[in-house]
Amino acid sequence: MNRFPRLLSYAITVWPGLLVAFAIAFSGMLLELLRPWPLKVVVDYVLGGQDLPGTLAAMAAALPYGDTTQGLLAWTIGTLVVITLASAVLTYIGTALVVKLCYRLVHGLAGELFAKLQRLSLSYHQKQAGGDLIQRMSQDVYCVHMAVSAVLLPGVISLCTLIGMFVILAQIDVTLALMSMVVVPGLAGALLLFAGPMDRATRRRYDELGSFMSFVDQAISGIKVVQGFNREDLLQAKLQGYAQRLGGAYQRDVNIGAAYKQVTLIVTGLSTAAVLGLGAWRVIGGHISLGDLLVFTSYLAALSGPIEAISVALGAAVVSGSQARRVFEVLDSGEEVPERADPVDPPVIRGDLQFEDVSFCYVQRGDEGPPRTVLDHVSFTASPGEIVAIVGATGMGKSTLVSLISRFYDPASGRVLLDGHDLRDLPLRKLRSSVSLVLQEPYLFPVSIAENIAFGVEDPSLSQIHEAARMACAHDFISRLPLGYATNLGESGSSLSGGERQRIAIARAMLRPSSILILDEPTSALDARTEAQILQNLAQSARARTTFFISHRLSTIKHADKIIVLDDGRLVEAGRHEELIGNGATYSALYRHQELAVL
């Protein structure tokens, strides 16, 4: 669907409020149309001494002192004051209502965008800059506000005002009225000329703003590295570059908008001058009265209002359409993890996993060359109650392997089966709710410790949270904090040490009653004693689950039920510690190497 009509389809969702807003705006428009008439009454009938025409004479006679010159003047001025006041009140109420409706639409669109972002695959998020997505979420969603408040309402009302004025002007003088409409094709031509450049300039401006935001976001997130390496100057210089590009795009956008506005003003001004000249000529020729010309010229002056509003609305339609494109790009992105329309939905998930000839490569961007195989025909099984350790040198595909279990990615070939079902046939929510994760870089939210531990579970009790923390050897250090479990963590838990963050992440995983537990180097920042204690607790709780444990410290995984050894994406060995040592191959070489390193 075209961007602008699609934006307007959101407006329909608040149609009762919009109808009221239109009704208020129409009333305001009618008042505006009435505004010049008291002028004619004063000039022609009060000052000019002409007789009031039939209806007006009857109305005046019905009013106290309406049939006297002073009375008529007082009533006419009174009417003008009432029109002015009523117009102001209606404008205020209308504006407040439109703002309320528009914010509802903006929040709705932002909510839809956020929901979509949460569903989009990891591959999508790895390609997108976070700052740019924030820009789309926080700024570009206002396109729907602009579409309603700056395009739809003023556009329709101004068009009706224009038509109303034309009808009235035509009654005074058809030739002049037609002449005053010469402005319309002039404005249409200006829009045709400017729509393309305005669209491109707006798009570039918001794209540059997104890049700027992303740069600032990354610089602030990496502030420790920046300060530690004394690279503030480098980032400052880079910021200047981003700011300059943004400034250039901003100026171009504003300049094109200003040029469009000036061209529309010139078109309006020229047509007004022509009509004024012709009008004066027709008064001289005796075709219309001086009062008629006054009414006509005040309509003509008033005409510039709706005409300008229409040209502004058309410009706003282009700008909101450009912003909408950035929102719809995300909404229309098909990079969600695909789900079957009729998934298999087993009542319970036991955690029986089977990798069947699985190969995988990350999708590369166009400029990154051909995809590299990260997992190469990997096959193995893991049963409930088993602790499966995955080992191998760095970059061999260990994290990638476990990320297939949560369906962060799908295999390029082969299958991963859970309880006999291909993961792609299971409902995604069900699959993910049966998996508990501790990621290599534990992410903590800037909320309390208790909320962080409780993240994966609906309303756990405090004692359950404490128990999970005890299992993760985190209870003691949390209890020593002045605010204990209520301690609020900074961004990404920056107020804690690396080992403390890891233990909170482990507690979060422990609390979740899932049939699969994935621990990706969960204890790399812990001392040997704490690590041993956590592993012991884990071994006790692991009896009911299938546990995957990735570690570079082979001493920690000696007691695993199965050890899988990856080498350059291939599964080269699998078995218990003693068997693999006996094989004298990759694992035993790695193990011997680490033993020597300890000595």
Ligand X SMILES: Nc1ncnc2c1ncn2[C@@H]1O[C@H](COP(=O)(O)OP(=O)(O)OP(=O)(O)O)[C@@H](O)[C@H]1O
Binding interface with ligand X (CB under 6 A):
126, 362, 374, 392, 394-400, 440
CA atoms within 13 A on the CB side of 416: 23
Min separation Cβ 429 and ligand X, Å: 23
Beta-bridge mates of residue 570: 567
Instruction: Quote the crossing angle between the two packed helices 183-221 and 232-284, to the nearest 10°.
Output: 170
Beta-bridge mates of residue 573: 565
Min separation Cβ 131 and ligand X, Å: 19
Helix H, strand E, coil C: the string for 111-135 is HHHHHHHHHECHHHHHHCCHHHHHH
Nearer to ligand X, 155 or 397 (CB): 397
- Length of the chain equals 599
Question: Do 122 and 409 meet the contact criterion of CB atoms below 8 Å apart?
Answer: yes
Backbone angles phi, psi at 457, to 5 degrees: -135, 145
Question: Do 213 and 135 meet the contact criterion of CB atoms below 8 Å apart?
Answer: yes
Nearer to ligand X, 60 or 374 (CB): 374
Cβ-based neighbours of 190, under 8 Å, separated by 6 or more: 260, 263, 264, 267, 311
Find, among 450, 456, 442, 460, the residue nearest to 523 by Cα.
Answer: 442
Find, among 214, 279, 219, 278, the residue nearest to 246 by Cα.
Answer: 214
Nearer to ligand X, 318 or 423 (CB): 423
Nearer to ligand X, 27 or 524 (CB): 524
Find, among 116, 182, 46, the residue nearest to 328 by Cα.
Answer: 116
Nearer to ligand X, 395 or 498 (CB): 395
Beta-bridge mates of residue 389: 549, 563
Min separation Cβ 400 and ligand X, Å: 3
Min separation Cβ 435 and ligand X, Å: 17
Return the SS3 of 199. Answer: helix
Min separation Cβ 392 and ligand X, Å: 6
Min separation Cβ 353 and ligand X, Å: 17
Find, among 475, 401, 471, the residue nearest to 440 by Cα.
Answer: 401
> How many CB atoms neighbour CB 527 within 10 A?
9
Please state, in angstroms and rounded to a whole number, the distance separating the CA atoms of residues 117 and 60: 66
| Strand extents, DSSP E, 521-593 | 546-550, 562-567, 570-575
Please state, in angstroms and rounded to a whole number, the distance separating the CA atoms of residues 19 and 548: 59
Nearer to ligand X, 208 or 567 (CB): 567
Min separation Cβ 423 and ligand X, Å: 18
Min separation Cβ 124 and ligand X, Å: 11
Min separation Cβ 394 and ligand X, Å: 4
Nearer to ligand X, 322 or 406 (CB): 406
Min separation Cβ 595 and ligand X, Å: 19
For residue 415, give both structure tokens. Answer: 């299958």
Question: Do 560 and 388 meet the contact criterion of CB atoms below 8 Å apart?
Answer: yes
Min separation Cβ 133 and ligand X, Å: 17
Nearer to ligand X, 36 or 522 (CB): 522
Nearer to ligand X, 338 or 395 (CB): 395
Min separation Cβ 528 and ligand X, Å: 20
Side chain identity, residue 532: A
Cβ-based neighbours of 107, under 8 Å, separated by 6 or more: none
Nearer to ligand X, 25 or 375 (CB): 375
Nearer to ligand X, 268 or 551 (CB): 551
For residue 156, give both structure tokens. Answer: 């329709």
Please state, in angstroms and rounded to a whole number, the distance separating the CA atoms of residues 510 and 520: 14
Please state, in angstroms and rounded to a whole number, the distance separating the CA atoms of residues 355 and 413: 11
Nearer to ligand X, 392 or 522 (CB): 392
